[in-house]
Chains A and B, each alone.
Chain A
Amino acid sequence: MAKKPSMGRQKIKIAKIEIKNHLQVTFSKRRSGLFKKASELCTLCGVEISIIVFSPAGKVFSFGHPNVDSIVDQFLSRNPPPNTTTRHLIDAHRNASVRDLNSQLTQVLNELEAEKKRSETLDHIRKLASQRKYWWEKSIDELGLNELGQLRDSMVVLKKNVTNQTDKLFVEGNVNPSPFFSANGIAMVDSAEIKPYQMNASSTPPHVQNIGYGHGFF
């Protein structure tokens, strides 16, 4: 379940990319990035820009503020656009919409960043947990056959009980009590018991005794 690491920032040679797949991916990303830079420049400095890009397949992408055609016409005719009231109204209206969209954009970017941080925090918690004394919180690649079997058995038992609880709730019609996760979404528990899962009350005693695998557990 580990995420495949991306290549990160690489210094590349500015020459035609040989591998077709890489070229297409690069085109897609860079075209989008170029338009993004253009859009930002328009907003930040109040200038008018048009960018035309042909794809490797021959399709044409274009970006223009206020729009591609007016910029292209202005370039070709060397005449400035007419300075009418209508134009001013249209421009003002458009700029207001763009301002709105830009604030939405900023907001979503901030939210996304917050969620990424949350995700990193959770990764950190998991990493700390797997280094501590609970051997079963380690990555399964680090566990021996015996431990794997025990962990699997514990999980099967837990799963069965979770299913029972689900059935119970269903029958009682109690489908949605208040959700478990609090605002920061992290649930911590203080447990004195340091054994893998055991069933409640009258069930077989925990079958985790001395394993002798030397992983530094209880």
Chain B
Amino acid sequence: MTRTKVNLAYIANDSERKSTFKRRKKGLMKKAEELSILCAVDTCAIIFSPYDPEPDVWPSPLEVQRVIAKLRNMSPLEQNRRMMDQKDFIRQQLTRLSEQMAKQQREIRHKEMTNVMFECLKGKGFEYLNMSDLNDLNNLLSQNIRAIERRIKLLEKRHNGGD
């Protein structure tokens, strides 16, 4: 399938929507089956669409009933604990993404500071840096100094241990 970016909104064009539905429904069922087999877990999927009065299901209506029974046999608390609608799920995704974002920004900060450090080593002054930048630079230098000293120890050990 082509890696075109999809706009997350209702597809207005009827035929496009129908073909997307067929394609993605097939993919969804496949993914459900893979999860079920790979992890040896009970899974089911139920889809109601305007294209069919009967729901599309996986694995089979009988199996779906069995999984539903297993769900409904649990306490209401357990059933609801990990039950999500679209809003819940998207909020969860947003939380996950903002964590990734924070991590990414930390990495970028580290890389930018490394550039600054090398520029300073070349002789560029650092009077223009503010307190927070200076502290980060200081920490980065400590980190690097420690790493170099570890490396020096290792090389010296190898050199000496050679006899």
Chains A and B belong together in one complex: yes
Q: A residues near B, CB below 8 A?
A: 1, 12, 14-17, 23, 26-27, 30-31, 33-56, 59-68, 71-72, 74-76, 94, 97-99, 101-106, 108-109, 111-112, 115-116, 118-119, 122-123, 125-126, 129, 134, 136-137, 140-141, 143, 145, 148-149, 151-152, 154-156, 158-159, 162-163, 165-166, 169-170, 175-181, 185-189, 191, 193-198, 200
B35 touches A53 (CB 8 A): yes
Asked, given contacts A39-B89, A45-B11, A45-B17, whether A16 binds B40 with beta carbons under 8 Å apart, the answer is yes
A75 touches B145 (CB 8 A): no
**Interface secondary structure of A, over-half rule:** helix
A34 touches B130 (CB 8 A): no
A197 touches B45 (CB 8 A): no
User: Which residues does chain A contribute within 8 Å of B156, judged by CB atoms?
Assistant: 145
Sample of 5 further A-B pairs with CB below 8 A, known A12-B38, A44-B6, A148-B152: A63-B84, A101-B90, A148-B148, A158-B121, A193-B122
Of the candidates A43, A98, A155, which one forms a contact with B144 in the assembled complex, judged by CB atoms under 8 Å apart?
A: A155
Cβ of B70 within 8 Å of any chain A Cβ, yes or no, is: yes
Bound state CA distance, A137 and B50, in angstroms?
63
A27 touches B138 (CB 8 A): no
B101 touches A159 (CB 8 A): no
- Which residues of chain B from 63 to 120 have any CB-CB distance to chain A below 8 Å in the complex? 64-65, 67-68, 70-72, 74, 78-79, 81-87, 89-91, 93-94, 97-98, 100-101, 104-105, 107-108, 111-112, 114-120
18 A-B interface contacts by CB (under 8 A): A14-B34, A16-B38, A40-B8, A44-B6, A51-B32, A52-B67, A56-B41, A67-B85, A71-B46, A72-B46, A102-B9, A104-B90, A112-B104, A115-B105, A152-B149, A163-B138, A175-B131, A181-B112
User: Which residues does chain A contribute within 8 Å of B121, judged by CB atoms?
Assistant: 136, 154-155, 158, 196-197
Q: Could you tell me how many residues of chain B have their Cβ less than 8 Å away from some Cβ of chain A?
A: 101
B108 touches A118 (CB 8 A): yes
Determine which residue in A37, A74, A99, A111 has the highest number of CB atoms from chain B within 10 A of its CB, and name it: A37
B48 touches A185 (CB 8 A): no
Determine which residue in B20, B123, B132, B144 has the highest number of CB atoms from chain A within 10 A of its CB, and name it: B123
User: Which residues does chain A contribute within 8 Å of B38, judged by CB atoms?
Assistant: 12, 14-17, 23, 26-27, 30
Asked, given contacts A27-B35, A162-B141, whether A197 binds B122 with beta carbons under 8 Å apart, the answer is yes
Asked, given contacts A38-B28, A45-B20, whether A61 binds B90 with beta carbons under 8 Å apart, the answer is no
A54 touches B43 (CB 8 A): yes
User: Which residues does chain B contribute within 8 Å of A159, judged by CB atoms?
Assistant: 138, 141-142, 145
- Which residues of chain B from 125 to 150 have any CB-CB distance to chain A below 8 Å in the complex? 125-135, 137-138, 141-142, 144-145, 147-149
Bound state CA distance, A122 and B37, in angstroms?
42
B138 touches A47 (CB 8 A): no
A170 touches B131 (CB 8 A): yes
B108 touches A180 (CB 8 A): no
B128 to chain A, nearest CB (A): 6
User: Which residues does chain A contribute within 8 Å of B129, judged by CB atoms?
Assistant: 165, 180
Residues 1-41 of chain B: 1 if any A CB is under 8 Å from the residue's CB, otherwise 0?
A: 00000111111000001001100110110011011011111
